[in-house]
Structure 1
Amino acid sequence: MTNPDYVSVTAAVMRKEGKVLIAKRKRAHMGYNWEFPGGKTETGETLEDCLRREIREELGIEIKVGSLISSQKHVINCQAAIALYAYEVFHLSGDFTLTDHEEIRWVAIEDLEKYAFPEPDRVIVKALQTGQACVDSSQ
C-alpha cells in the first residue's frame, strides 16, 4: 500500500454536569453506532470552522471551539485514512435538533467504554478517562 492521503476530520467533546455528549448514528458504520459528533473539512476550511459548521448542521446549535484534546492518524480497512482532531467545545446557543443522528446522550466519562465507538473515537475516550489534556498519536 502506498502512503495514504489523510482526510482531516474533527470531533466535538462537549461537557455538561460531569458528562460528555455522544451521538448515535442513524446507521451503524462498520458495526459501530456511537461517535463524538463532527465531520470532514471542506477545501480551505480550518479545523475550527469545520467543527462549528458540522455541529451547526448535525445538531442545530452554535458552539465555541476550545482546546485540542487529541489528534491521531488512522487508516480504515486499508482503504481510507483520516487525521482526527478532537476539540473541547462549548454550547453557545440554539436547541438541539438532530439531522444526522438517531439520538444523543450525555454520558459519564467512566461509562463511555460501554458504548460501541470506532477505534479513532476510542482514543478520545482514553484521553478523557486518563485526564490527559492532549493525546497525539499521529506520529
Structure 2
Amino acid sequence: MQEATLCFAVRDGEVLLIEKRRGLGEGWYNGPGGKLEADETPRECAIREVREEVGIDVFDLEKAGELTFTLDGETHTFCHVYRTGSFAGEPTPSPEARPEWVAFEDVPYDRMWDDDSLWLPGVLEGRTVRGEFRFAGGPPLDEATFVDHDLEWDVSFTPQ
C-alpha cells in the first residue's frame, strides 16, 4: 500500500487542477499531490508536492478527506485530501503537471478518475469525506475498472 496526498487550492468559485504530464493518470486532471516520502507527514507531503508540481506555496491546509483505493480486493493507495484558500505565487507548469484554474461548475470529470465525481463536488462545497473505492483489473490502477464505493460525509479528522 502506498500513502499519498491531494491538495485543492480554491479561490472565488475556482479550483486549481493539474493535467498530469507523466506517471499514473497521465493526461487526466486531478489536484496536485503525490506519494509520501520517508519521515514526512501527509500535510508536509501535500505542501511539498504542490510546490514541486505547480510552484506555489500553500498554507492553512484543511483536511477534507481520507480515501482508500483497492485493486482486486487489496488496498492499493490511502490518500489524504486537503483544501486551502491560502496560497502565494502564480501556478506554473512543471515536467509533472500543467496547472489550470477551473470554475467549480466546469470541473472536467470526464477527464478524471471515475471516482472523482462522487466525492470532489462535496469537498469543493466545504464538506469532509471518508471513502473507499474499489477497482478491478490492471495493474496499473489507471487501466483498472471502477467497481463500487462507500462514502461517509461530514466526518471529523484528527489534526496532523
TM-score range, shorter chain: 0.7 to 0.9
- Which of 20, 33, 48 aligns to 1:53? It is 48
Look up the match of 1:136. Answer: 130
Judge conservation of contact 1:70–1:127 (CA < 8 Å) in 2: no
Q: 2:61 aligns with which of 56, 66, 72?
A: 66
Q: 2:101 matched to 1:111?
A: no
How many residue pairs end up in the alignment?
132
User: TM-score scaled by structure 1?
Assistant: 0.78
CA distance in 1, matches of 2:16, 2:110: 12
Higher relative contact order (CA 8 A, sep 6+): 1
| TM-score normalized by the length of structure 2 | 0.69
After superposing the two structures, state which structure 1 stretch, 31-40 or 6-15, moved more.
31-40
Matched ranges for 1:1-139 at <5 A: 6-27=1-22, 29=24, 33-76=28-71, 81-99=76-94, 100-101=96-97, 103-128=98-123, 131=125, 133-138=127-132
Deviation, structure 1 residue 135: 0.7
TM-superposed CA distance for 1:16, in Å, is 1.4
Contact 2:9 2:87 in 1 (8 A): no
1: distance between equivalents of 2:64 and 2:4? 14
| CA distance in 2: counterparts of 1:48 and 1:28, whole angstroms | 22
Shift of 1:125: 1.7
Cα distance change on mapping 1:92 and 1:14 into 2, 3 Å: closer
Structure 1 runs not aligned, ≥5 long: 1-5
